[in-house]
Amino acid sequence: MKRKITDRLVKWRNTAASRLPLLLYGARQVGKTYVMQELGADYFKNTVYVNFEADRKIGDFFENEIHAEAVLGILERYYHTRIIPDETLIIFDEIQMCERALASLKYFAEEAPEPSELTPETPELTESPFTGVEQKSPLVGTVYLAPQSGAEPFVKAGSKVKAGDVLCIVESMKMFNNIESETDGTVQAVLVDNGQIVEFGQPLFRIQPV
Protein backbone atom coordinates (compact mmCIF):
# COMPACT_ATOMS: atom_id res chain seq x y z
CA MET A 1 0.00 0.00 0.00
CA LYS A 2 2.78 2.44 0.94
CA ARG A 3 4.53 1.72 -2.39
CA LYS A 4 1.36 2.57 -4.33
CA ILE A 5 0.90 5.85 -2.45
CA THR A 6 4.55 6.78 -2.93
CA ASP A 7 4.38 5.99 -6.66
CA ARG A 8 1.35 8.27 -7.07
CA LEU A 9 3.05 11.08 -5.15
CA VAL A 10 6.20 10.76 -7.25
CA LYS A 11 4.07 10.90 -10.40
CA TRP A 12 2.47 14.12 -9.07
CA ARG A 13 5.90 15.54 -8.29
CA ASN A 14 7.10 14.85 -11.85
CA THR A 15 4.21 16.68 -13.57
CA ALA A 16 5.84 20.08 -13.12
CA ALA A 17 4.15 21.76 -16.09
CA SER A 18 0.61 21.00 -14.91
CA ARG A 19 1.04 20.31 -11.20
CA LEU A 20 -1.87 21.45 -9.01
CA PRO A 21 -2.13 21.57 -5.22
CA LEU A 22 -2.59 18.07 -3.86
CA LEU A 23 -5.20 17.29 -1.20
CA LEU A 24 -4.43 14.16 0.80
CA TYR A 25 -7.46 12.74 2.62
CA GLY A 26 -7.56 10.03 5.28
CA ALA A 27 -8.17 9.19 8.90
CA ARG A 28 -5.94 10.73 11.56
CA GLN A 29 -2.70 9.03 12.57
CA VAL A 30 -2.42 6.85 9.45
CA GLY A 31 0.84 8.30 8.13
CA LYS A 32 -0.25 11.09 5.76
CA THR A 33 2.20 13.61 7.21
CA TYR A 34 5.02 11.09 7.28
CA VAL A 35 4.63 10.09 3.64
CA MET A 36 4.62 13.76 2.55
CA GLN A 37 7.72 14.52 4.63
CA GLU A 38 9.39 11.49 3.08
CA LEU A 39 8.48 12.79 -0.39
CA GLY A 40 10.01 16.16 0.50
CA ALA A 41 13.21 14.61 1.79
CA ASP A 42 13.66 12.27 -1.19
CA TYR A 43 12.43 14.33 -4.14
CA PHE A 44 12.73 18.02 -3.19
CA LYS A 45 15.64 20.18 -2.12
CA ASN A 46 13.82 21.51 0.96
CA THR A 47 10.44 21.35 2.66
CA VAL A 48 8.38 24.04 4.37
CA TYR A 49 6.07 22.38 6.90
CA VAL A 50 3.08 24.41 8.12
CA ASN A 51 0.90 22.94 10.87
CA PHE A 52 -2.19 25.13 11.38
CA GLU A 53 -3.19 23.27 14.53
CA ALA A 54 0.18 23.40 16.28
CA ASP A 55 0.91 27.01 15.29
CA ARG A 56 -2.31 29.06 15.22
CA LYS A 57 -0.41 32.31 14.68
CA ILE A 58 0.56 31.48 11.09
CA GLY A 59 -3.16 31.26 10.25
CA ASP A 60 -3.63 34.91 11.21
CA PHE A 61 -1.60 36.05 8.20
CA PHE A 62 -4.08 34.43 5.82
CA GLU A 63 -6.85 36.74 7.02
CA ASN A 64 -5.51 39.63 4.93
CA GLU A 65 -4.04 37.92 1.90
CA ILE A 66 -4.51 34.56 0.19
CA HIS A 67 -3.10 35.21 -3.28
CA ALA A 68 -0.33 32.75 -4.01
CA GLU A 69 2.60 35.15 -4.49
CA ALA A 70 1.84 37.00 -1.27
CA VAL A 71 1.41 33.75 0.68
CA LEU A 72 4.78 32.50 -0.55
CA GLY A 73 6.40 35.74 0.59
CA ILE A 74 4.81 35.39 4.02
CA LEU A 75 6.01 31.79 4.35
CA GLU A 76 9.56 32.78 3.35
CA ARG A 77 9.65 35.41 6.06
CA TYR A 78 7.90 33.36 8.71
CA TYR A 79 10.18 30.34 8.32
CA HIS A 80 13.29 32.28 7.25
CA THR A 81 13.86 30.11 4.21
CA ARG A 82 13.76 30.42 0.42
CA ILE A 83 10.93 28.85 -1.56
CA ILE A 84 12.35 27.76 -4.91
CA PRO A 85 10.26 26.72 -7.95
CA ASP A 86 10.18 22.93 -8.37
CA GLU A 87 12.66 22.48 -5.50
CA THR A 88 10.58 23.35 -2.42
CA LEU A 89 7.68 21.24 -1.15
CA ILE A 90 5.14 23.15 0.95
CA ILE A 91 3.04 21.02 3.31
CA PHE A 92 -0.12 22.52 4.80
CA ASP A 93 -0.96 20.14 7.66
CA GLU A 94 -4.28 20.33 9.55
CA ILE A 95 -5.42 22.88 6.95
CA GLN A 96 -9.03 22.43 8.05
CA MET A 97 -8.12 24.61 11.04
CA CYS A 98 -7.70 27.61 8.70
CA GLU A 99 -10.43 28.11 6.10
CA ARG A 100 -8.57 31.00 4.46
CA ALA A 101 -5.51 28.81 3.91
CA LEU A 102 -7.75 26.22 2.27
CA ALA A 103 -9.18 28.95 0.04
CA SER A 104 -5.65 30.02 -0.94
CA LEU A 105 -5.18 26.70 -2.78
CA LYS A 106 -7.58 28.03 -5.44
CA TYR A 107 -5.14 30.85 -6.18
CA PHE A 108 -2.17 28.49 -6.25
CA ALA A 109 -4.02 26.48 -8.90
CA GLU A 110 -5.11 29.50 -10.96
CA GLU A 111 -2.10 31.79 -10.71
CA ALA A 112 0.74 29.26 -10.59
CA PRO A 113 3.26 32.00 -9.69
CA GLU A 114 7.00 31.81 -9.75
CA PRO A 115 8.06 31.95 -6.09
CA SER A 116 10.11 35.10 -5.75
CA GLU A 117 12.15 37.08 -3.31
CA LEU A 118 10.19 39.50 -1.16
CA THR A 119 9.41 42.75 -2.91
CA PRO A 120 7.82 45.97 -1.62
CA GLU A 121 4.48 44.64 -2.91
CA THR A 122 4.74 41.62 -0.62
CA PRO A 123 2.98 42.18 2.72
CA GLU A 124 5.51 42.92 5.43
CA LEU A 125 5.41 41.18 8.78
CA THR A 126 5.77 43.92 11.34
CA GLU A 127 7.43 41.66 13.87
CA SER A 128 9.23 38.36 13.95
CA PRO A 129 6.33 35.92 14.38
CA PHE A 130 8.36 32.83 15.20
CA THR A 131 8.37 32.32 18.95
CA GLY A 132 10.12 28.96 19.06
CA VAL A 133 13.74 27.88 19.22
CA GLU A 134 16.15 28.69 16.41
CA GLN A 135 18.85 26.06 16.75
CA LYS A 136 22.19 27.56 15.71
CA SER A 137 25.56 26.09 14.85
CA PRO A 138 28.01 26.33 17.77
CA LEU A 139 31.01 26.26 15.44
CA VAL A 140 32.24 26.74 11.87
CA GLY A 141 32.20 23.57 9.81
CA THR A 142 30.40 21.33 7.34
CA VAL A 143 26.89 20.20 8.24
CA TYR A 144 25.64 16.67 7.62
CA LEU A 145 21.92 16.03 7.95
CA ALA A 146 22.23 12.22 8.00
CA PRO A 147 24.53 9.84 9.89
CA GLN A 148 26.07 8.60 6.64
CA SER A 149 25.70 8.91 2.88
CA GLY A 150 22.42 7.44 1.65
CA ALA A 151 20.92 7.19 5.13
CA GLU A 152 17.70 8.83 6.29
CA PRO A 153 18.21 12.34 7.73
CA PHE A 154 18.22 12.67 11.48
CA VAL A 155 15.12 14.89 11.26
CA LYS A 156 12.83 16.43 8.65
CA ALA A 157 10.36 19.28 8.71
CA GLY A 158 7.54 18.03 10.90
CA SER A 159 9.68 15.60 12.93
CA LYS A 160 8.96 15.38 16.65
CA VAL A 161 12.11 15.76 18.75
CA LYS A 162 13.09 15.54 22.38
CA ALA A 163 15.74 17.66 24.07
CA GLY A 164 19.05 15.92 23.44
CA ASP A 165 18.02 14.26 20.17
CA VAL A 166 20.64 14.55 17.44
CA LEU A 167 19.53 16.97 14.70
CA CYS A 168 22.65 16.89 12.54
CA ILE A 169 26.43 16.62 12.60
CA VAL A 170 28.88 19.47 12.08
CA GLU A 171 32.38 18.46 11.03
CA SER A 172 35.09 20.86 12.15
CA MET A 173 38.85 20.25 12.10
CA LYS A 174 38.17 16.55 11.34
CA MET A 175 36.02 16.26 14.45
CA PHE A 176 32.38 15.18 14.08
CA ASN A 177 30.15 17.05 16.51
CA ASN A 178 26.57 15.99 17.22
CA ILE A 179 24.20 18.96 17.28
CA GLU A 180 21.45 18.13 19.76
CA SER A 181 18.01 19.63 20.13
CA GLU A 182 17.71 22.18 22.90
CA THR A 183 14.04 21.47 23.52
CA ASP A 184 11.13 19.09 23.03
CA GLY A 185 9.06 20.11 20.03
CA THR A 186 8.38 19.91 16.30
CA VAL A 187 10.90 20.79 13.61
CA GLN A 188 9.29 23.62 11.63
CA ALA A 189 12.04 24.11 9.06
CA VAL A 190 15.45 22.79 8.07
CA LEU A 191 17.47 25.87 7.13
CA VAL A 192 20.61 24.29 5.67
CA ASP A 193 21.50 21.77 2.99
CA ASN A 194 23.47 18.58 3.49
CA GLY A 195 27.20 19.22 3.00
CA GLN A 196 26.81 22.99 3.37
CA ILE A 197 29.53 24.98 5.13
CA VAL A 198 28.05 26.85 8.07
CA GLU A 199 29.30 29.72 10.19
CA PHE A 200 29.33 30.09 13.94
CA GLY A 201 25.86 31.11 15.10
CA GLN A 202 24.21 30.32 11.76
CA PRO A 203 20.61 29.04 12.17
CA LEU A 204 20.27 25.35 11.31
CA PHE A 205 16.72 24.46 12.38
CA ARG A 206 13.57 26.12 13.64
CA ILE A 207 11.82 24.14 16.38
CA GLN A 208 8.39 24.89 17.84
CA PRO A 209 8.43 23.75 21.49
CA VAL A 210 5.57 21.70 22.89
Residues 159-168 pLDDT 10s: 999 999 999 9
Q: Considering the entire predicted model, what is its pTM? A: 0.56
- 90 inside domain: yes
Residue 7 is assigned to a structural domain of this protein: yes
Report helix, strand or coil for 170: strand
Give me the number of domains the chain comprises: 2
pLDDT over 50 at 208, yes or no: yes
Assigned domain for 81 exists: yes
Strands (E), 83-184: 88-93, 133-136, 141-144, 160-161, 166-172, 175-180
pLDDT tens, position by position, 4-22: 788 888 888 887 656 688 8
Pairing between strand 197-198 and 141-144? antiparallel
Domain holding 204, by residue range, is 133-209
Give the integer Cα–Cα distance in Å for 194 and 27. Answer: 33
Distance of CA 1 to the CA centre of its chain: 25
Q: Report the alpha-carbon distance of residue 166 to residue 84 in Å, rounded.
A: 27
